[in-house]
Structures are given as structure tokens and as C-alpha cells.
Amino acid sequence: NSSDLDAPAAFPLHRLVWTNRYQELDRELRSGQHDPERPDPRGRTPLELSVCLGHLETARVLLRHGADPTRSNAHSWTVLQEAVSTGDPELVQLVLQYRDYKRATERLAGIPELLSKLRQARDFYVEMKWEFTSWVPLVSKVCPSDVYRVWKSGSCLRVDTTLLGFEHMTWLKGRRSYIFKGGENGATVMEVDHEKQVVYTEPLTLSPRDASSLLEAMAPSQENTAQRLTSPIVSTHLNTRNIAFERNKSGIWGWRSEKTETVSGYEAKVYSASNVELVTRSRTEHLSDQDKSRSKGTASVTSGPAQLFLES
């Protein structure tokens, strides 16, 4: 709504984005007098507004000046998802490239502190078992559950899991290990697929790299972009706004005590979590009729109590 931007002095960047004056926007950002992350009355940053309007050049200018491409709006849609909804492949490639670049630089910047904290911490092994249950009959059989196993030794960390994700109302299962190996000159992250017997390795160097070279390396492939533009935009998240935890009780004949379990010689407490909602939404406005027929959009909310076992 253009009435949100009736005060150009209050939101000059948004006004320039709204009218797609990207050259003036570039000059304003070069002056250093404006915050590119300042939201308008509807909570939209200049980049979010630019993407929603499909203004490629203003989005490019904002990203070059450090606008955050990883933000989510009030409805939990990311900047990338909003870009996909426009159906513009060039806009999707632009946002995806800067998003991956930001993630890579933040990951590299945090490695020295992470290695330092890992070396200082004591070595350990811990298991965390969790599962969701529901009061709805038969629903608990399809609710997710998993056991996370974590090993820490020196500057190395390993996490084993069997729950890989959620796609089209189906829980994806498999045996995966994620290994972080720290060394003197950097670190390595490995993803081990035990079923396919394949190991994916990503070296994380601590030496500084040229920013433009790193940004260029993050350019997405055409296949990646095409896949996003021909698939529904799916958002799945746990709504824990009203979550409540309560210690489980055990015993009979009126005698009740707080429930505990013994795992690997350690006493573990058992909690129940209530008011947990799993919200799944999808958008298909960018899809052709043929793409929509292959994959119909869904929107659902599944709620119920969850039981959490903390074992250490």
C-alpha cells in the first residue's frame, strides 16, 4: 500500500524502492546516512519490499550494500521464498547467491571462536531422545521421534541422527553423521550417509579470501534455480509460543514421584511438553498449471502434546 510511504523523509529508502529509482538508491546508500535494515510500518525492510515488488535492480543495489538476504518476515517467509514467488529466475539467482555468500562468510568468521571453545570444553558423550505424541487416535504413529548422539573430543565434534527432514507431509528417515574436525589451520565438515556409504566433505579455511571471488563462487546453477521455480514454496516450523514443560510422574496407588531413567550410568529427567504446533504452509502462485497439477499446495497445523526424554 503506497499510503505506508507517504512520508518520504521518514522512509527515504523505501520510497526509492517503491518507485524503482535504483541509481538514486545507490547514491543514498553510499552516503552512509541510512540503515538498510530499517523496517517500514508494515515491518518490511527495503530489500523485502524490493523483492516483493520484483524490482531486480533495487534488490541488487541493496544486496551490494550489505542488506540481509536471510531475514524472514512476520509470516515466516524468507527473502528467498518471496523471490521465488515472483517467478523471476534472475531475481531468485541474485538472492540465492547473496544468501549463500552471507552464510559462508559468517561460518568462516565464527570458526576461530568455535575451535577455542571446543578446546576449552571437557570431552563428553551425550544422548538426547525425543518424540512427539498426540491425543488424536493413530496420529502418534506418524509423529516424529529421534535419538541424537553427540561425541566431543578435543576440537572435534560428531552428531548422529536418523530424522533428516520433512517434505510433503512425510518424515524423511536415514542414518547420517555430521562431523566437525578442527585443526591448526582450519576445520573440515563432513556429512556421512551410512546407507549410500558416501561422505561429503567441505573444508573451512581460516585464511582470508577475496570477497568477490567467494561471492562469484556462490553463484547458483540454472538447475538449482529451475527446481525452485517449478516446486511449491514450503514453510515448516514448530510454533512454540505457548509451549509448557512439566516433569513426568511415575508410581501407582496414589504414590507418585518424578520420573527418571538411567542411560549409560547417568540419571535422566523426563519432561512432557504441551501446546506444540507443527505448522506447514505452501505457496504455488509462481507455478504453471502443469507444475501445480504435479504438486498441490497444502497448509496444515498439527498440534498435540510432546514427550521429551533428556538423557545425559
Please give the average per-residue pLDDT across 70-91, as a whole number: 93
Q: Looking at 26-35, 148-157, 203-212, 215-224, which range is the least confident one? A: 203-212
Count of domains observed in the chain: 1
Q: Confirm whether 16 is domain-assigned.
A: yes
309/102: higher pLDDT: 102
Please give the average per-residue pLDDT across 106-113, as a whole number: 82
Range of the domain at 65: 2-109
| Per-residue pLDDT at 85 exceeds 60 | yes
State the DSSP code for 197: T
Residues 6+ apart with CB under 8 A from 182: 111, 114, 115, 118, 119, 154, 155, 156
For helices 79-86 and 46-53, the axis angle rounded to 10 degrees is: 20
Question: Other C-beta atoms within 10 Å of 250: how many?
Answer: 12
Q: Confirm whether 119 is domain-assigned.
A: no
Q: pLDDT band at 247, cuts 50/70/90?
A: confident
| Per-residue pLDDT at 309 exceeds 50 | no
User: DSSP H helical segments within 44-168, as ranges?
Assistant: 46-53, 56-64, 79-86, 89-109, 111-120
308/103: higher pLDDT: 103
State the DSSP code for 287: S
Question: Other C-beta atoms within 10 Å of 252: how many?
Answer: 6
Nine-digit cell string for 307: 514427550
Q: Find the helix or strand (DSSP H, E) in which 290 lies.
A: helix 289-294
Please give the average per-residue pLDDT across 259-280, as a whole number: 79
| Per-residue pLDDT at 207 exceeds 90 | no
Q: Confirm whether 262 is domain-assigned.
A: no
DSSP codes of every residue in 155-176: TEEEEEEEEEEEETTEEEEEEE
* CA–CA gap between residue 65 and residue 29 (Å, rounded): 7
Length of the chain equals 312
Q: Confirm whether 86 is domain-assigned.
A: yes
Q: Confirm whether 11 is domain-assigned.
A: yes
Burial classification of residue 52, based on how many CB atoms lie within 10 Å of its CB (0-12 exposed, 13-18 middle, 19 or more buried) = middle
Strands (E), the chain: 124-132, 145-153, 156-167, 170-182, 186-193, 198-205, 233-239, 244-247, 249-250, 257-258, 260-263, 266-283, 299-311
Q: Confirm whether 187 is domain-assigned.
A: no
Most confident of 103-112, 204-213, 221-230: 221-230
Q: Confirm whether 28 is domain-assigned.
A: yes
Q: pLDDT band at 82, cuts 50/70/90?
A: very high
Nine-digit cell string for 31: 552516503
Q: Confirm whether 30 is domain-assigned.
A: yes
User: What pLDDT is recorded for position 312?
Assistant: 37
Q: Domain containing 91 — which CATH number?
A: 1.25.40.20
Burial classification of residue 306, based on how many CB atoms lie within 10 Å of its CB (0-12 exposed, 13-18 middle, 19 or more buried) = buried
